[in-house]
Structure 1
Amino acid sequence: MGKEQVEDIKAVVIRNVKGVWREYWLPITAFVVLIISCQLFNLTHSGFFYPLMFASGWIVVMFALKFKSESAVFSLKKLTKQRQKDTSYEMYTILRIYTNDSDFQEYMHIREYFDSQHIKMENRVIDHNHDIESQIMFIRNPEFTYCYHLLMDQKNEMYFIGEYV
């Protein structure tokens, strides 16, 4: 290795260490103070080190909890999203539209007409590996002749599933 390469590597390491120190100086200092005060307490058994150990330990624990909640490894939301991507399950809103109109499919794209129908909504997880129609239970309403099932995903896109008489 040439002297220039060693100097370049040394400059990069120093810059990275300064960047880490600039961002994490408080937890690093608290951790060092905690280690030193614990070692000095073991040697002297002096009560003088109790406040130092408590304060620095508290700072270290608070930063550890903060990093734990923000870390992708421990984050429950990110872990749940990753599991949903890995599996075939997805959350949908099921719309059951009850009507006596046999021409519902022709006019359902008109917002006023759609809103005038009797609609029941339910959130459900759907498995894409199985038949979607079989996962949505048909609930009869004796007041209406027709029941239409629509799925609405999290992007508010609607999918027609089936018509029941």
Structure 2
Amino acid sequence: MEREQIETVKLIMLKNLKAFWNEHWLPISSLIVLVVSCQLFNWTHSGFLYLPMFVSGWLVVMFALKYKSENSIFPSKKSTKNMQQDTSYETYTVLRVYTNDPNFQEYMQNQEYFHSQHVQMENRVIDHNQDIESQIMFIRKPEFAFCYHLLMDRKNEMYFIGEYV
């Protein structure tokens, strides 16, 4: 009974090894050629071995970069971009409007009036799971009585966040 189990395990291992070899024969053989040619070069210092070392090294690096970009342990730019879309983070333009006018909220829809005020802009990543007001730093300017925080999203829609006196 044990002999049959050992034979089935051997067959499964051989089958898995053959499948692995069929899928990865080129990077494995290029790695072997690279190691052997480097060792031969250390013994002989023959210039003939530069070509196999260069070609096999180039293949090993290309396969390593290919597997790095496909593997989830090493995320590529595309996968991190998808990961950011799944989270609650979003990039906004923060507008800090400094004014001495207490009626700013009434007239802020007027574009000429809005641009006549002192406006500072910065891009900031906002986490929607936390309080938005606490994520935007208030910077006091003594020459202005009021500071208004507005958020502008990618669609150029503005959201009123807070008023500071």
Shorter-chain TM band: 0.5 to 0.7
Please list every run of 5 or more consecutive structure 1 residues that lacks an aligned counterpart in the other structure.
1-27
2:101 counterpart residue number: 101
Equivalent residue letter for 2:91: M
Identity over aligned pairs, percent:
55
- The whole-number CA distance in structure 2 between the counterparts of 1:106 and 1:39 is 75
Amino acid of the structure 2 residue aligned with 1:57: S
User: Partner of 2:4 in structure 1?
Assistant: none
- Identify unmatched segments of 5+ residues in structure 2: 1-24
Instruction: Identify the residue that residue 120 of structure 2 maps to in structure 1.
Output: 120
Find the residue that maps to 1:56 and give its secondary structure. Answer: helix
For residues 91 and 164 of structure 2, the distance between their equivalents in structure 1, rounded to whole angstroms, comes to 23
Q: Partner of 1:51 in structure 2?
A: 50
Q: Contact 1:37–1:52 at 8 Å: present in 2 too? A: no
Q: How does 1:1-165 map to 2 (within 5 A)?
A: 34=30, 47=46, 50-61=49-60, 63-64=62-63, 67=66, 71=70, 73=72, 74-165=74-165
Alpha-carbon distance in structure 1 between the residues aligned to 2:132 and 2:113: 26
What's the TM-score, normalizing by structure 2?
0.59
**Letter of the structure 2 residue corresponding to residue 137 of structure 1:** M
The answer on whether the counterparts of 2:91 and 2:123 sit within 8 Å (CA) in structure 1 is yes
Change in CA separation of 1:39 and 1:104 when aligned onto 2, cut-off 3 Å: closer
Q: Which amino acid aligns with 2:66?
A: F
Against the structure 1 CA distance between its residues 31 and 48, is the aligned structure 2 distance closer, same or farther, given a 3 Å change threshold? farther
Shift of 1:149: 0.5
Aligned residues: 136
Name the Cα RMSD after superposition: 3.7
1:26-47 deviation line (CA, Å, top 9, x unaligned): xx9x8698478569969xx885
Q: Residue 4 of structure 1 aligns with which residue?
A: none
Tell me the TM-score normalized by structure 1: 0.59
